[in-house]
Amino acid sequence: MNKKINEFLSLKTQTKKTILVSFMMIAALSSCSKNSDEMMPEARDTPYPAENLKKGLLGGQEITYERKNGMNFFQGDIVLSDQQLAEGGTASKGGASFSRWPGGKIYYTVASNMGSINANKITTAVNEYNAKTNTQWIPRTNQSNYVEFIFGSSSGSDGWAHIGYQGGRQTVSLDQYISVGSVIHEMGHTVGLYHEHSRKDRDQYLSIQWNNIQNGQAYNFNMYTSGTDIGPFNINSVMMYWPNSYSKNGQPTIKRADNTNFTYNRTGFTTGDINTINAMYP
């Protein structure tokens, strides 16, 4: 669950569009319980039942999402609000952020049951954002618009997050065995990034192996074309899907455009990720 995020809105209009993160279309919804961080929510073993699949509009584009536990999951680990989907019929109102976080300031709190291990990972990830990007993650005092890091599964390594600034309380969920890199990924969704593999130009760089994708999960590999790509495609982006995301047979679901395998290590920001976030938050 690190780097998926189409990033929104033109740089001049930071409030009414979605910026499809250039090299990062962000992403990561979770629902798997794995003990290895290499098996992200994007590599879930048990798909949601077909009746959970819904159609909606995001940024004026029709998308498929999963309705579970009263939430709308897009591409596995991105949570869309009902308002985002309701306003998705108008391109100028759709997307990850109605407005990006004002001033790039993101106030946050950590649930009391998070545990020291994940609390330390959050601290490390927050320090990465504060040191390398123009966003500021600030411990909440009494702010009404903020992010709460909540504890997910005690046996998994996944996470999920609301996308962009929505106002009020929004959440980032982290499983017990999630990596620091995937914490950074989920926080990327919070700042407004979609997954890298859904960029409009991805077919120049990637080959989606449709025959290896779990039945009923191919929609997670659709391009999200209603945002604006920032910078060049970045196969190493923290917002990238894993090569075996949603694989039904252990074979890659994503290869390079020349049909060769690639190795992906989600350890943290690449220079491209940093440049994308800073373009969103100048």
Residue 173 tokens, joined: 């969920």
Q: What region, left, alpha or beta, does residue 193 occupy, with left being phi > 0 and alpha being psi -120 to 50 degrees?
A: beta
Helices 180-191 and 116-132: crossing angle in degrees, nearest 10, is 60
Q: Is 186 a catalytic residue?
A: yes
185 annotated ligand binder: yes
162 annotated ligand binder: no
Name the catalytic one among 42, 87, 128, 186.
186
- Mode of pairing for the β-strands spanning 169-174 and 146-151: parallel
Nearest to 90 by CA among 64, 60, 61: 60
> Would you give the end-to-end CA distance of the chain in angstroms?
25
Give the C-alpha separation, 8 to 206, whole Å.
22
Q: Count helices and strands (H / E) in the chain.
A: 4, 13
Nearest to 190 by CA among 135, 119, 268, 127: 135
195 annotated ligand binder: yes
Q: Which residues are annotated as a binding site for Zn(2+)?
A: 185, 189, 195
Q: Which residues are annotated as a binding site?
A: 185, 189, 195
Q: Which residues are marked as active site?
A: 186
